Amino acid sequence: MPVLTSPTTLWTSEHLRALRIEPCHQIPLVDGTSLRHPLPGLDLWDLWPLQLADGSTAVLEGWTLWFVLSAPAGEDPEARHDIVRIRLMASRGSEWRDHGNALPDHLNPGSREWAGSALYDPESAAVTLYWTASGLRGEEPRSFTQRMFETTGTLAGDADAFTIAGWSEPREIAGGPIPHYVLVNAHEGVPGMIKGFRDPAHFRDPADGAEYLLFTGSLKGSESGWNGCIGLLRREGDDWAVLPPLLSADGLNNEQERPHIVFHAGHYYLFWSTQRKVFAPGEPNGPNGLYGMVAEHMEGPWLPLNGSGLVAGNPPEAPVQTYSWWVTHELTVHGFVDYPNSLQGNDHGDAAWRRAHFGGVPAEPFRLVLDGTRAEVAG
């Protein structure tokens, strides 16, 4: 596997000291009493759209297709990560239609399916899914092992019955010992403190057509327990070359989740999600929110948006209302409703309370306004 060199941008406490909470950087308040459940009986959370090669969202007969993490709504919503499947759903406005599990049973090399990204070729109707296989097939108890895979199937049908069939044998991405990154094979862990090798997100550089995968990573050899980074791979022929991290938050933050890049108005915008609880103790921190940086070239230099990196955070009166955001090419932001109307989240010790307060549905999208190093929630 080829290994390439590139600069790594640092996200530091100095950036966080510049953070200012202003209305234009707050996610609209969610009314948890009026949520519409597209699939009663299932919890839904991380979601990503079917995209074209240029990053734009594919539209089929007026519908967009989404891949959504899903699990049966059990007694404790925090147990959903142990039984999760990727679901295929179609969206048009506020209407959602379900098209079942995206992958057939037993195709996944792990014990459950975690987040990724998806690419569509309209000429061949081919869908390439990049995703995280968590755990190992047939394991008991379930572990936090994380590996990334890709597979390709063929899209057919219409809004009444979209299907993806003929999935290829899953191919592991960057498996085995590699530089820069921790390979995650832990058997136990606490949400927020497990290490990352997950969330592969495809990006094609319009400057030269090079294809990249970004991912949630952890720095190998770090002396800090808060060693989060945004990993980077570049396609070289049929393989993925390993590059140094695009961004390092070593000593500051443990998780920069679901990173992805949007090319807009001649600039590269890097986005990720993180939570207040995964910042290192004693260091400046920020709210649960969407964060980002901007560059004029893929190789950087990358500058934190709004000086601190914060793009849009949950409002103080609802600090855990939504999470895990995806910014589309069209600058709409899609997340899921976590614990609205509450100051407490998944750290609350009562499973019954969590079930009564958990949202588990796609959040109402909002829009961004991007202008160089400035990023705001559209008014």
Instruction: Look at residue 238 and tell me if it is in a domain.
Output: yes
Instruction: Look at residue 235 and tell me if it is in a domain.
Output: yes
For residue 349, what pLDDT is reported? 74
Q: What is the domain extent for residue 56?
A: 9-13+48-300
CATH code of the domain in which 198 resides:
2.115.10.20
Query: At residue 291, what are phi and psi to the nearest 5 degrees?
Result: -125, 165
What's the structural domain count of the chain? 1
Q: How far apart are CA 270 and CA 333, in angstroms?
A: 13
Instruction: Look at residue 322 and tell me if it is in a domain.
Output: no
Instruction: Look at residue 354 and tell me if it is in a domain.
Output: no
> How far are the Cα atoms of 43, 87, 142 from residue 79, in angstroms, in the given order?
11, 18, 12
- pLDDT tens over the chain, length 379 residues: 555 567 899 999 999 999 988 999 999 999 999 999 999 999 999 999 999 999 999 999 999 999 999 999 999 999 999 999 999 999 999 899 999 999 999 999 999 999 999 999 999 999 999 999 999 999 988 888 999 999 999 999 988 899 999 999 999 999 888 999 999 987 655 566 789 999 999 999 999 999 999 999 999 999 999 999 999 999 999 899 999 999 999 999 999 999 999 999 999 999 999 999 999 999 999 999 999 999 999 999 999 999 999 999 999 999 999 999 999 999 999 999 999 988 887 777 789 999 999 999 999 999 999 999 999 999 8
Maximal C-alpha separation, the chain: 54
Q: What is the DSSP letter of 224?
A: S
The model carries a pTM of: 0.97
Instruction: Look at residue 30 and tell me if it is in a domain.
Output: no
For residue 147, what pLDDT is reported? 97
Query: At residue 48, what are phi and psi to the nearest 5 degrees?
Result: -145, 150
* CB neighbour class for 15 (10 Å; exposed up to 12, middle 13-18, buried from 19): buried
Q: State both tokens at 208.
A: 């030269």
Instruction: Look at residue 305 and tell me if it is in a domain.
Output: no
Instruction: Look at residue 158 and tell me if it is in a domain.
Output: yes
Instruction: Look at residue 188 and tell me if it is in a domain.
Output: yes
